[in-house]
Amino acid sequence: MDDDFPPPPSISHPGIVALDITDKFASAVKTLPPGQIVKDGHFTLFESVSALEIMDPKMDSGCIEEGESLDEEYDTARDLLPEEVLGIIDQLLCLEMAWHLGYPLSQTILTSVYVESFLRDPDAPLSSMTFVRGSAPQAKQPKFLFVLRAYCAGMLRACHCVNEIVKDELYYEVCRYAIYLGLPSTPAPKLIVLQEEDFVTNTYDRNFLSHIDLAEVTALLQATRADLRELSNDVPKDLALALDLRLELRVAFLRAMELYPLRRSNPDSLKMPWIQMKALMKHFKKQHELAKSVPEAFSTKMQRRLASTMPPRPIVQLSFDDTHTHFEQMFQDGKDAMDVLKYVDPQSLLHFVSTFQARDPQPLVFIRTMTQGLLFKDMIVLGHHSLRRILDDDLAIVVLPNARQLDPANDTIEVPTDPRHQLAAQMESFRQRAAECYLDLFRIFCQNRCRVRRTLCHSIQQWDHLQADVEEIDGLLQVCLDEKSLTTALGNIGHSLPLSSWAYLYKLRQMEWIVQLGFELDVYQPDELAGMYWYLNYLAKTRAQHGDRIKTFVLRDFTAAQESASWSQTKERNYTRSIAYIRVTMLDAACTWEFADGLCCLYTVLQRLGLVKTPSRPYSNDELRYEIRMKPFVNIGLPQLPSFDDFTKATAQPETSIAELLKYAENAVGGAKKGYEALSRMNDLQTFSVGCNDRWLANIKGCQKSAIYAGIAITALQKAIETEGEDAADLKLKVELPQPGKGYHDWWIVPKLTPTTES
């Protein structure tokens, strides 16, 4: 045999005859043409992959080193010091948070030898679930093991509750995958692991005490706390307090899970367990110094017992400081999420959900799915309201204050020829058509930021279809109401079309969010910023114009209603609320369009001067990149997508000089700054941000600061050009773009111009 091949294995066993087929196999392979594959029809893909995995330590969970035991040899019946119990509990806290962050249970909680031992008999009553095999009385068991037993019971029951809450709502499983930056042939291609989504609900066929009532687990925890106090002479005071507070944390968490379904209760009462848990966490960081780690109590060998086809994975090691920070934030988010139940109006509710999800750091998936449950569990909005009421409230604010279409009395009319009966029938048809799109909008904002943008790209298609569908309903309502076309000094405006106008306004808002999230998520390259800000300006201007059209019809109805005999303070209040909403919407749209227009002009100038360069793209061109960026909008009927030529001309503005562009940018950014100042002076009722005004105001303040610094950048560039001319080399300026999350607002990428030193 050739020396390059290793010697054949030594096989000696009765009945086995070993033959060396290396030469025959090599000769047979040479007869095959390139690309041909020989495969046994009974040898499946699963078997072939399994053959590759066998005896590979990275892939085969059964592969062990010489002399190593297949099972974990750690003895769960061993005596533990109090500080060791504290160390194991704190490590379990770290693993629990790692699970919340998106890692599977197989790499987190289920790597604990104690947890695996505790779940040995999945359907057993809680009283017989212990770490020690057999039914030895507690007096004969290790002295402090009862504390760890109670803690594990509380943790596992809480994890079951979390898992069920997540599974009941819209969420996305984790899908981690890797990409290489560079070619495999390069000396060191960079490997990046991307996590597609948030959470893994797979329990690997483990029963996390789902058959045991919450009250029974809570009683065990309270009894354990009492027993721990009786051991005050055997445990140092600070250690006993640390263990007691961790048991109290588990009690509070279970209490929060018990109260969660009670959405009809006072939201402030639902907050109490979350407030308690955050207060407890303040003590944990200092107490952790008392803990003694027991690393041998956690092992990847536990993965061999799980119902999983996944190869072995390392234990996720999260530091206690990071764990403490994440838990504190989770408890704060859980407390704040309860405020969603304080319903005032649909627009405030939408602002609450969108600003809550946009917090930095973003709430964990458990909190976001819990918010979904508070919103829409069992199709009852916020535990009290029907979807019809929320939808009608929204219509009344946006387009139909005091409208006959929304009068509940219409439902009592049974005569088919009566216009009121026809109004009720057409409005019910509209509600059935619009309900899913409307609910999905709230659900979308309970996802992570990447998923929000991606889902909005699908949502606008549905809203576009909705707008087209309800135009027919609008036509039928015109007949029922005998509505006349509106004519003003500007000409014939036409009919109000309130339902399709409402759908169009929501569609425009979502289109703007898609573009703005593109800036936040660093989707666009620096040389694309001018074009995308121009398109944002185009969308915002369209929204402002549409808001003006809605305002015209609302004012017409307002004037007519004032002259009627049925005029009342309630009607006046409803009209005032609608006009206030339209005003703040138009002001917000105007700020967006002015600021986007100013940044578009600024980046156009920077590109002309060569301060923002277009990278070499041998496999791409501007038109292809335009098609990619506009792909979400290409099938939208209105507003019409500009052609590539129109987009390029509007962005580059070749007929406008640099000085004119900078002057226009200065005025536009200044106008946006004044608009944001006006918004920041409004109260929560005026801005429809009741319950989330602090977050809404912080968002406006961030936009205002961005506008101020954009003005500074424009002024600096103007002065440099006046002094040095329009030659980029003479300007001696360098453009720095803020990293994602490092600017004053993620939607406004304001360049920083800094002087360069002489070479």
pLDDT at 758: 54
pLDDT at 424: 96
Residue 176 pLDDT exceeds 50:
no
pLDDT at 62: 61
Stated pTM of the model: 0.88
pLDDT at 188: 43
Collect all residues with Cβ–Cβ distance below 8 Å to 694 and sequence separation of at least 6.
Answer: none
Residue 179 pLDDT exceeds 50:
no
- Kindly state the tokens that stand for 680: 């920041």
Task: Identify whether 312 is preceded by a cis peptide bond (ω within 30 of 0).
Answer: no
The terminus-to-terminus CA distance of the chain in angstroms comes to 66
* DSSP letters for 675-722: HHHHHHTS-HHHHT-TT-HHHHHHHHHHHHHHHHHHHHHHHHHHHHHH
Percent of the chain predicted with pLDDT > 70 = 89
Which of these, 302, 300, 299, 283, lies nearest to 291 by C-alpha position? 283
* Dihedral over Cα of 146, 151, 157, 160: its sign: negative
* DSSP letters for 567-627: --HHHHHHHHHHHHHHHHHHHHHHHHHHHHHHHHHHHHHHHHTTSSPPPP-TT--HHHHHH
pLDDT at 34: 76
Confidence of residue 54 (pLDDT cuts 50, 70, 90): low
pLDDT at 172: 78
- Residue 307 CA to residue 352 CA, distance in Å, equals 41
SS3 99: helix
Confidence of residue 325 (pLDDT cuts 50, 70, 90): very high
Residue 52 pLDDT exceeds 80:
no
The pLDDT tens digits for 267-313 are: 999 999 999 999 999 999 999 999 999 999 999 889 888 877 677 78
- Residue 332 CA to residue 326 CA, distance in Å, equals 10
Q: How far is CA 635 from CA 458, 510, 533, 701, in A?
A: 11, 15, 21, 35
Which of these, 109, 89, 235, 197, lies nearest to 149 by C-alpha position? 89
* Dihedral over Cα of 245, 249, 251, 255: its sign: positive
What integer is the mean pLDDT of 681-702? 97
What integer is the mean pLDDT of 700-718? 97
The pLDDT tens digits for 605-649 are: 999 999 999 998 888 899 999 999 999 999 999 999 999 999 999
- Kindly state the tokens that stand for 437: 């799109």
Q: Are the C-beta atoms of 656 and 650 separated by less than 8 Å? A: no
The pLDDT tens digits for 440-476 are: 999 999 999 999 999 999 999 999 999 999 999 999 9
Kindly compute the dihedral angle of the four CA atoms of residues 455, 600, 548, 509, in this order, to the nearest 10 degrees: 10
**Exposure of 557 by Cβ count < 10 A (0-12 exposed, 13-18 middle, 19+ buried)?**
middle
- Kindly state the tokens that stand for 326: 């994440």
- Kindly state the tokens that stand for 341: 């139940």
What integer is the mean pLDDT of 359-370? 94
Percent of the chain predicted with pLDDT > 90 = 73
- Residue 187 CA to residue 632 CA, distance in Å, equals 38
- Residue 372 CA to residue 254 CA, distance in Å, equals 19
Buried b (16+ CB within 10 A) or exposed e, 690-710: bbbbebbbebbbbbbbbbbbb
H or E segment at 166? Answer: helix 145-168
pLDDT at 43: 73
* Dihedral over Cα of 145, 146, 150, 156: its sign: positive
Task: Identify whether 751 is preceded by a cis peptide bond (ω within 30 of 0).
Answer: no
Q: How far is CA 618 from CA 426, 615, 622, in A?
A: 56, 10, 11
